[in-house]
Amino acid sequence: MPARQGGLTLGVDVGGTFTDVVVAGPHGLEVLKLPTTANPAAAVLEGLRRLGPRAREAGLISHATTLATNALLTHAGLARSALVTNEGFRDVLEIGRQRRPELYDLSTRRPSPLVRRRDRLTVRCRIDSTGSELEPLSGADVLAKLVVKRRYESVAVSFLNSYLNGKHEREMREALRAAGFGGHVSISSEVDNEYREYERTSTTVVNAALSPLVGGYLSSLRTSLRRRKITAPVYIMNSDGGASTAAFASSRPVSIIESGPAAGVVASTHLAKALSLDAVLTFDMGGTTAKAATVIGYEPEVIEEFEAAGKTHSGRSIKGSGYPVRGQFIDLAEVSAGGGTVAWVDEAGELKAGPESAGSVPGPACYGTGGVDPTVTDANVLLGRLNPTALLGGTMPIRRDLALLSMKRLSRGLRASPLGTAKGVVRLVNDGMARAMALVTVERGRDPREFVMFAFGGAGPVHACDLAEEMGVTDVVVPQHAGLFSAYGLVAGELTRTFVAPVMEVDPPMAERFRLLESAAAESMKEEGFHSYRLSRYFEGRYVGQSHELLLPFHSDSGSRAAFDARHEALYGYALPDRMEVVNIRVKATVPRHVPALSRSAGAPSHPVKERLAWISGTSAVAPVLLRDALPSGTDGHGPCIIEDYDSTLVVNRAWRWRAEDYGMRLTR
């Protein structure tokens, strides 16, 4: 159902360490940060409980969750699924593509298929490459009874060329329902209506494996909300930065795999527009990971394929290490470098950080909640870069003595002092995060010195100046409520749906095809209860003979070829006289939403601090400590200093000047 008019808008971002809540109302933003629980729904409900009776005034709840990603990483909670495909094609998941995650490792192993071979069932049917029926579907009734007998929770159906004609897949679904199968059925012509059989099948299988888990979680969450008399509709952040209804997310969980990381880039996009900054480098450092992305021309970079639960190296996704999922994903480089990232010493006596994280339970040692492993947060506390007594406006006690104890244990393996070890941990994670930033800038032909860096996340502002100096960036923005900026992206993000139709023709007229696809989009949006939205047209093209395509906005048939040539030359340095093949057309429906201003509201009271010994710009010295709430817009100053806020801490290096603004802090050098 669409959002109710009026009332509060709530953004709830469940991360690996903290759950962030942003409440947008007529008097600005109110923020709340609390530890994430083992059951993510419990953290959501606790955040709403702390809001008290006002939670019932919510007109919309926008939610980001790592549930799908965590399930694929751990294989915990995934449905026992079957795959139904054409006779002779049951092994497509294992054949895949010629991608080795480690090229020269003869013992390397690809991830185990989400559907075992014994659970891959085949029937006779065939659609040809033009979409015509060569052989009708036969044996569907018998196979459907077998599915019911084996008690599968979910079924994926993927037939050859079904992206051109999904008739057989729909007939198979009807046969399953007629046989009494009551579980989830995912058919590839609806989940991923594009060519390339392996990617389409993999995406559909991932969707089937996740559907019962995600659907059950969202259903349980809605039931719990109703018990508390909270009737606001729940929307889920998609991987592309849009949002969808809970019902759609339940049936298409592949669309929310990168739900949480996308929200911060969405928030950055809105702030970039407000500040008229057309080249932004986003740096989001939370409790578990750090993420980098770019927003160019007020649009985030988007990719069409993602390796779910795959490995990364210096922020780069390793092809063949995960489960290919096709769709639209905000292009992010992600490294294991969060506040809770655990530091350790390898067998050669070298200092390492990650990928293990202390998370919210037991948490960094300095939290005093049972954690003993040294983390990035412990290093920053020990170096005076974070408040050594309390965080979150004094509501979260910090134990510097426990941080020191954890660093002492780590330093023994390095034959260094605890403070020297802590400095090494900070330098190490800074180096890893700089490589991730280089991946989305330098390695893609972009000069990071031409970008403005947006630094956010609970730990992002602590490391912002260090990374900006490493990358040559001279302009940094730390937004208001930086530690909850991703949750702000949830209340600022638009509700979207993307509709795809295959074309696979050379230089075709597209205008009429778009009108047909828009008609189907309008019908689907009406079924979901949306009547006011805007439609955007896109097409995917390539030169004949190429194996991958480019996504571009569509304006007219006459201008499409010139736009494609220009984009190809900008990316690869050349254009060809060859004919252009259109692979797919896309229509994106966007439901407008009111975006609340990024303004401050009263936070929890903080204890004033004057100065303390801190390691800044490579040296230890007594630095002034300022409270953000005591800095009205227009106040300025210079580093070295520390500026503490309820949800984050900004470390200003020696060569930098800062200025408080309505939208946050602006740093220049």
Q: What is the pTM of this model?
A: 0.88
Rounded CA-CA distance 661/664 in Å is 5
Predicted local distance difference test score (pLDDT) of residue 43: 83
What 3-state class would DSSP assign to 256? helix
> What average pLDDT does the segment 115-124 reach?
96
pLDDT at 472 over 50: yes
In the predicted structure, residue 313 carries a pLDDT above the cut 80: no
Residue 234 lies in a domain: no
44 compared with 561, residue with greater pLDDT? 561
Predicted pLDDT at 219: 93
Residue 563, in any domain of the structure: yes
In this prediction, residue 537 has a pLDDT band, given cuts at 50, 70 and 90, of very high
DSSP state of 54: G
99 is a domain residue: yes
The pLDDT tens digits of the residues spanning 175-233 come to 999 999 999 999 999 999 999 999 999 999 999 999 999 999 999 999 999 999 998 88
Q: Is the predicted pLDDT of residue 319 greater than 90, yes or no?
A: no
Q: Is the pLDDT of residue 607 over 50?
A: no
- Identify the pLDDT of residue 604: 42
In a domain, 62, yes or no: no
Per-residue pLDDT tens over the stretch 4-28: 545 688 889 988 778 888 888 776 7
| Residue 183 covered by a domain | yes
**Residue 238: what pLDDT?**
92
Q: Which domain holds residue 528?
A: 495-591
pLDDT at 102: 72
Residues 230-262 have pLDDT tens digits of 988 899 999 999 888 899 999 999 999 988 888
Say how many domains are in the chain: 2
Domain end (from 591, 609, 624): 591
In this predicted structure, what is the pLDDT of residue 606?
Answer: 45
Quick one: average pLDDT of 59-80?
Answer: 89
Residues 360-418 have pLDDT tens digits of 788 999 999 999 999 999 999 999 999 999 888 888 999 999 999 999 999 998 989 99
Residue 278 lies in a domain: no
pLDDT at 55: 84
CA 224, 228, 229, 231 torsion-angle sign: negative
Confidence of residue 59 (pLDDT cuts 50, 70, 90): confident
For the cut 70, the answer to whether the pLDDT of residue 461 exceeds it is: yes
Average pLDDT over residues 91-120: 85
Residue 517 located in a structural domain: yes
Q: Which of 591, 611, 636 is the last residue of a domain?
A: 591
* Burial (Cβ within 10 Å: 0-12, 13-18, ≥19) of residue 277: middle
The amino acid occupying position 169 is E
pLDDT of 657 above 90: yes
Count CA atoms closer than 13 A to 241's CA, side-chain side. Answer: 21
Strand runs (DSSP E) across 286-439, as ranges? 290-296, 299-300, 302-308, 312-313, 316-317, 323-330, 333-335, 341-345, 351-357, 390-391, 396-397
CATH of the domain at 501: 3.30.1490
Per-residue confidence (pLDDT) for residue 48, from 0 to 100: 86
The residue-averaged pLDDT of 503-531 equals 91
The mean of the pLDDT values for the chain is: 90
User: What local confidence, expressed as pLDDT, does residue 91 receive?
Assistant: 95
Listed in sequence order, the residues at least 6 apart from 240 whose beta carbon sits closer than 8 Å to its beta carbon are 255, 262, 302, 327, 328, 329, 330, 496, 498
Residue 273 pLDDT greater than 60, yes or no: yes
**8 Å CB contact between 310 and 323:** yes
pLDDT in tens, 420-431: 999 999 999 999
What pLDDT, on a 0 to 100 scale, did the predictor assign at position 314? 62
Is the residue at 516 inside a domain? Answer: yes
CB 502 within 8 A of CB 195: yes
Q: How far apart are CA 290 and CA 309, in angstroms?
A: 16
Per-residue pLDDT at 496 exceeds 90: no
> What is residue 411's predicted lDDT score, i.e. its pLDDT?
95
- Mean predicted confidence (pLDDT) in 96-123: 85
* Cβ atoms 209, 185 nearer than 8 A: no
199 contacts: CB under 8 Å, gap ≥ 6: 192, 305, 324, 326
Task: Report d(CA 283, CA 264) in Å as an integer.
Answer: 9
Q: What is the CATH number of the domain that holds 190?
A: 3.40.50
Contact 192, 326 (CB under 8 A): yes
pLDDT of residue 361: 81
Helix ranges (DSSP H) in 383-459: 400-412, 418-440
- Among 214, 248, 265, residue at a domain's last position: 214
Q: 111 pLDDT band (50/70/90 cuts)?
A: confident
Does residue 315 have a pLDDT over 80?
no
